[in-house]
Amino acid sequence: MDLQNSPAIADLGVQVLSIAFDSAAEQAALARESGITVPMLVDADGAVSRAYDVLQWAAGTGEPGHTFILVNAEGAITWIRDYGAPENGGLMYVEVPELTAQIAAALGR
């Protein structure tokens, strides 16, 4: 929720969204329970996760972890970082200022 409410993220002009294997019903329930307002997309067959190569950091369940991807208007990845993998610190939460700084740098700002 911190990302969706962050003025710093909004100032970067990027769209925050979530992509997960969970069904639309599961995501809708989570959104209601947690107050999530960003778009939540279903990747039931994992095609998007495979296309963006995030399964290299998959959780023990085979699902994508806490991966952040910056995609430009042409659909190309310009920055990617997985925080949940043990080799990347195993973080379940990343401070917004850290994400903002990394995204800004990737945008050349």
The one-letter amino acid code at 3 reads: L
Percent of the chain at pLDDT > 70 equals 99
- Please check the confidence at residue 45 and state whether its pLDDT lies above 80: yes
Tens-place pLDDT, residues 46-87: 999 999 999 998 877 888 888 899 998 888 899 999 888 777
Q: What are phi and psi of 71, to 5 degrees?
A: -115, 130
Which residue matches tokens 């778009």? 39
- Please check the confidence at residue 28 and state whether its pLDDT lies above 90: yes
Candidate CATH numbers 3.40.50.720, 3.40.30.10, 3.40.50.300, 3.30.70.3340; the one for domain 7-106: 3.40.30.10
The one-letter amino acid code at 53 reads: D
